A = this chain, B = another copy of it.
């Protein structure tokens, strides 16, 4: 290990530990903090963030990067070179923007996010618009500065924060393919499901304690280790914590256990990725998850590919019946699988099934790309939203509450994030197909509630790669191809039309 590089590892170790401390504070805020703690918690988090930012943009750190890249790169092994590349990426994002722009963005997004809650409840797009405009203007300003610095398009500079190296042109190609396929596919699935009639209702209520016991049992089946993690409740489910102590959260709906249960399995997929990251590279940039698309691929792999499969549902159905005292045809494998694979045209992204979900994402990607490029005005967003919904999902929202005001991402400054949901779904299908090809016992194992063969394949092929390679490199090595839509289309065809 050489002089500048070694010092860089020391500095990034501190940054990682600071980030993890902030993560504990965030989990606490969502899962256990009383309301009265929120203001001071905001100040604690802001100070940790500022401290980390200062440490990252410290000119001496920039000098160390220059020296390590110039003088030491040739002497470093592949992981250390990759680590150096990830350090540079973090540094570039942090130091590209002037401090007053970062502060203005932070203030604007906090205020807009806070006001968004009321504006959505009141269906008041016009009332939120000036604040949204301010967030958009500052986001565009930041994106243009980074774009010049990184020598990419403005939108790609935003995307790079969530999905390193991705670009809008490539995504647009993939998404256009999907947009050409999905609406017709959805028509065919709906016609087929209409012929079968609605699934039988499961009754209820479903006590939270019984839901929790069932969820914990399935989490353990997937490989979640409660000596190294927790399951708690929060308003918005998420996966937080650190690899040694992964904290996932959920909500229990006593009227319907099916969604909450899949939510837990989804977060467990995220948790397994974190748990599987290489211990050798803990606290270094190269040792962290590759990006949002691969992270989402791991949750969707567990939820959509594995847990909603006919095989796993055949394991789940009797357990669920036992947990809630259910019986008869409604609690049989057929009916539960129909519930878990039901497709419908809905207004709300977070409630969407896997067939319509990409349509919601494609809409947002097209709109945010146009807004960032200046090809569309915020004034035109509600109309463009509704037109896009008509085209892609086949229904039109009656109001903005369930239309362009439904997501927190834009008011909160998360521009360029949306595409990663669908890139993750595509990657999940591609990885699952390769996993089954290479370990054909996976479906039979899932039918026994045994995730070991699937995790045994994912660990070396995805988890342990961490950020040592790009998403496409990881996918190419694992599946023989870069990210595409073929596996996803085959998966949909098999599950919804052939099955």
Query: Which of A20-28, A92-100, A375-383 makes up part of the contact surface?
Result: A20-28
Q: Which residue of B lies closest to A282 (CB)?
A: B40
**B228–A34 contact, CB under 8 A?**
yes
- Residue A21 contacts which of B33, B34, B44 (CB distance < 8 angstroms)? B44
Residues of B within 8 A of A47 (CB): 13-14, 17-18, 21
Residue A447 lies at the interface, judged by CB distance under 8 Å to chain B: no
C-alpha gap A48/B19 in the complex (Å): 11
- Residue A230 contacts which of B13, B14, B34, B283 (CB distance < 8 angstroms)? B34
Residues of B within 8 A of A34 (CB): 226-230, 245
| 0/1 string, A227-252, CB within 8 A of B gives 1 | 11110000000000110110000000
Residues of B within 8 A of A14 (CB): 47, 51
- Residue A17 contacts which of B32, B43, B227 (CB distance < 8 angstroms)? B43
C-alpha gap A282/B39 in the complex (Å): 12
C-alpha gap A294/B229 in the complex (Å): 38
C-alpha gap A47/B13 in the complex (Å): 9
Q: Which residue of B lies closest to A225 (CB)?
A: B36
List residues of A (35-87) whose CB comes within 8 Å of B's CBs: 35-37, 39-41, 43-44, 47-48, 51
A325 vs chain B, min Cβ distance (A)? 24
A50 vs chain B, min Cβ distance (A)? 8
**A35–B227 contact, CB under 8 A?**
yes
C-alpha gap A48/B44 in the complex (Å): 13
Residues of B within 8 A of A35 (CB): 227
**A20–B37 contact, CB under 8 A?**
no
**B20–A228 contact, CB under 8 A?**
no
Q: Which residue of B lies closest to A43 (CB)?
A: B17
C-alpha gap A35/B229 in the complex (Å): 9
Residues of B within 8 A of A25 (CB): 21, 24
**Which of A21, A35, A39, A282 lies at the interface centre, i.e. has the most chain B CB atoms within 10 A of its CB?**
A21
Residues of B within 8 A of A226 (CB): 34
C-alpha gap A25/B491 in the complex (Å): 44
**A227–B36 contact, CB under 8 A?**
yes
A27 vs chain B, min Cβ distance (A)? 8
A499 vs chain B, min Cβ distance (A)? 39
Residues of B within 8 A of A244 (CB): 36-37, 39-40
**B21–A245 contact, CB under 8 A?**
no
C-alpha gap A32/B232 in the complex (Å): 10
Residues of B within 8 A of A36 (CB): 225, 227-229, 244-245
Q: Which residue of B lies closest to A275 (CB)?
A: B36
Q: Which residue of B lies closest to A227 (CB)?
A: B36
C-alpha gap A48/B282 in the complex (Å): 17
Residues of B within 8 A of A225 (CB): 36
C-alpha gap A47/B25 in the complex (Å): 16
Q: Which residue of B lies closest to A20 (CB)?
A: B44
Q: Which residue of B lies closest to A226 (CB)?
A: B34
Residues of B within 8 A of A44 (CB): 17, 20-21, 24
C-alpha gap A22/B14 in the complex (Å): 14
C-alpha gap A21/B44 in the complex (Å): 6
C-alpha gap A226/B37 in the complex (Å): 11
A45 vs chain B, min Cβ distance (A)? 8
C-alpha gap A47/B24 in the complex (Å): 14
Residues of B within 8 A of A13 (CB): 47
17 examples of A-B residue contacts, CB within 8 angstroms? A14-B51, A18-B48, A21-B21, A21-B22, A21-B44, A28-B28, A32-B230, A33-B245, A34-B227, A34-B245, A35-B227, A36-B225, A36-B228, A37-B245, A40-B242, A43-B283, A51-B51
User: In the complex, given contacts A33-B245, A36-B228, what are 15 additional A-B residue pairs having Cβ atoms less than 8 angstroms apart?
Assistant: A14-B47, A17-B43, A18-B47, A20-B44, A24-B25, A28-B28, A32-B32, A34-B228, A36-B227, A36-B244, A36-B245, A37-B244, A40-B245, A43-B283, A51-B51
